[in-house]
Amino acid sequence: MHDFFQLVSPQELLDHCRAFSPLSEELIDLAHARGRVLCQNLYSPEDLPPFARSTMDGFAVRARDTFGCSESEPALLSLQGEISMGEEGRQFSLEPGQCYRIWTGGELPRGADAVVMIEYTNLYSEDTVAVFRPLAPGDNIIAAGEDYTQHAQVLSQGQLLRPQELGLLAGLGRQKVAVHRRPRVAILSSGDELVPISQKPHGGKIRDINSTTLASLVEEAGGVSQLHGICGDDFEKLQKNCELALKEADVLLLSGGSSVGRRDFTHRVFSSFPDSTLLAHGVSVRPGKPTILAKRNNQALFGLPGHVASAMVVFYLFVRPLLRRFLGLPASHGLVPLQAITAVQIPSVIGREDYVRVRLLATAELTIPSVEPVYGKSGLLNSLIKADGLLPIARDCEGLDAGVPVWILLFPQIPNLNQN
């Protein structure tokens, strides 16, 4: 192995991430399935809804009995009684000229094909209802199987389970669902200068910021973080710690030690594992050039920059797509794009894709927000705290003028507090 960068393009690195396979399936309770991804197509075991239902409070009628009625000439229908909520409406039969009082969600009696809203009726007498508005068949009702018919495919393999999908499965009586398991991500920081966050640093030492930051990013992306602490700049110790971490993990994130230098051991450690393949030693992106990716069977080994800002950008661009791939989703960053206008000129350098940290500026004059760069060195935190997202600049672009329409990638704003 040569101590030189073997640069790949961002697209090549993403292609490597897409070559990994989704993780195996597990059967979990429906209550814990939000944000998970289906492993199989699902079919409806029954009609949904199982019976014709009213969508309004009013009277179940035969639509033809209301044809031509008006406020001056109402249709007079014989009131047969009331269908209570939860009562089986099909036990009642509606004959011509009759109606039943019904409530929202109630089951229609046999023969009814519409519901007249109570606002368009009047009790003409104790057992007679006057209807002032004509109806068409299907008005104010949901037919049996109108949502889904029995045996119809309701959800597809690879579909993300949101609250609405979970509600559908609950309506079909499913208590468990087969999903791809969450990727287990081992996080290890390397460097003789690092100390735990519980320790006050002295004499050239700094606290380990990356482990906490990366763990939060992993959980936010749907993975399970596993913290493995700090390892000093020692090849054998680093190799041993990485091997131990990989015993229970699908992904290893090793921050620090990925650039070209006498004591940067990451690529050597990754290459030392049996059946491992070094896929990338450097990527043409800024920040994040000293990024390493290796593969061992279906395990991914990432060497991330030691500077926290660079590590975060690399995570969003490459690690997050890999975790999504493991979850059964498309291998993309999954960040929300937002159109904006550059507030100032933003310089860049030809030869590498640039991802500039930016913040949004609210302006009364513009219908879309403007953005300005948040400059800062890769080892500083304040630029990340102030930034709302990333502005991609193509590798063949020397920069952007002020007033140029752009698309930015927003950082996730709402934490996922209930991963299972």
Task: Read off the pLDDT of residues 370-402 as tens digits, 9 standing for 90 and up.
Answer: 999 998 877 778 888 899 999 999 999 999 999
* Orientation angle between helical segments 10-18 and 320-327, nearest 10 degrees: 20
What CATH number was assigned to the domain covering residues 336-410? 2.40.340.10
Q: What is the mean pLDDT of residues 317-331?
A: 96
pLDDT band of 258, cuts 50, 70, 90? low
pTM: 0.86
Fold of 10-23+182-327: Molybdenum Cofactor Biosythetic Enzyme; Chain A (3.40.980)
What CATH number was assigned to the domain covering residues 53-142? 2.170.190.11
CATH architecture of 26-48+147-180: Alpha-Beta Complex (3.90)
Q: What's residue 384's pLDDT?
A: 86
Q: What's residue 260's pLDDT?
A: 55
Per-domain residue ranges of the chain: 10-23+182-327, 26-48+147-180, 53-142, 336-410
